[in-house]
Amino acid sequence: MTSNHHAFPGTPLSEDEFRQGKILFNHDRLNGNFAWDTGIAIGSYLAGLKEGYLSGSRCAHCRKVVIPPRVVCEWCFRPMDTYVRLGDTGTVNTFSLCYVTWDVQRIIDPEMPAVIEIDGASPGHGILHKLGEVDPQALHIGMRVRAVWKPAEQRTGAITDILYFKPTGEEETR
Amino acid sequence: MTLLERDPHAPDNWQGSLPVTNRYTFGLAGERFFRALKENGQITGTYCSACDHTYVPAQTYCERCLTELDDWRDIGLVGEVHTYTILHVDLDGCQKSNPEIIAFVRMGDGGLVHRLGNVAPDGIEFGMRVQAILKPPAERQGSILDILYFEPAAA
The answer as to whether B95 is a domain residue is yes
Kindly tell me if the per-residue pLDDT of B2 is higher than 70. Answer: no
Q: Is the pLDDT of residue B155 over 90?
A: no
Q: How many CB pairs under 8 A join A and B?
A: 105
Residue type, A104: V
Q: What is the share, in percent, of chain A residues with pLDDT greater than 70?
A: 95
Question: Confidence band (pLDDT; 50, 70, 90) for A173?
Answer: low
Which residue in A18, A37, A43 is closest to B7 by CB distance? A43
pLDDT at A112 over 90: yes
Cβ neighbours of A47 in B, within 8 Å: 7, 9-11
Examine the pLDDT at A174 and tell me if it is beyond 70. Answer: no
Contact B15 A33 (CB under 8 A): yes
- A74 contact partners, CB below 8 Å, separation of at least 6: A66
Question: According to DSSP H, which parts of A20-164 are helical?
Answer: 40-51
Phi/psi of residue A15, nearest 5 degrees: -60, -35
pTM score, whole prediction: 0.62
CA distance linking residue B55 with residue A37, whole number of Å: 51
Give the nearest partner residue to A40 out of B3, B16, B25, using CB atoms: B3
Per-residue pLDDT tens digits for B11-31: 888 888 998 899 999 999 999
In a domain, B10, yes or no: no
Confidence (pLDDT) at B29: 94
Check CB contact under 8 Å for B2 and A79: yes
Does residue B64 lie within any of the structural domains? Answer: yes
Q: Tell me: pLDDT of B39 over 60.
A: yes
Model ipTM?
0.71
Per the structure, the complete domain to which residue B59 belongs is given by 27-152
Residue B146 domain-assigned (yes or no): yes
Between chains, do A32 and B17 touch, taking CB under 8 Å as contact? yes
- A86-102 burial, b at 16+ Cβ within 10 Å, e below that, comes to bebbbbbbebeeeeeee
What string of DSSP letters covers B22-34? EEEE-HHHHHHHH
Q: What pLDDT does A27 receive?
A: 87
- For residue range B64-105, what is the model confidence (pLDDT) as tens digits? 999 999 999 999 999 999 999 999 999 889 999 989 999 999
| Interchain proximity A24–B31, CB inside 8 Å | yes
Q: What is the CATH number of the domain that holds B48?
A: 2.40.50.140
Q: What is the mean pLDDT of residues A51-70?
A: 95
Residue B15 in domain: no
Asked if residue B6 is part of any domain, the answer here is no
Residue B10 has what pLDDT?
A: 82
Q: What pLDDT band is residue A74 in, cutting at 50, 70 and 90? A: very high
The domain segmentation of chain A, as residue ranges, is 40-167
| B20 occurs within a structural domain | no
In total, how many domains does chain B have?
1
CB contact under 8 A, B3 and A26: no
B53 and B47 in contact (C-beta within 8 Å)? yes
Query: Which residue out of A25, A27, A49 would a mutagenesis test of the B interface target, given it has the greatest number of B Cβ atoms within 10 Å?
Result: A25
Q: Which residues of chain A make contact with B60, given a CB cutoff of 8 A?
A: none
Q: Distance between CA B43 and CA B108 in Å, rounded?
A: 10
Give residue A133's pLDDT: 94
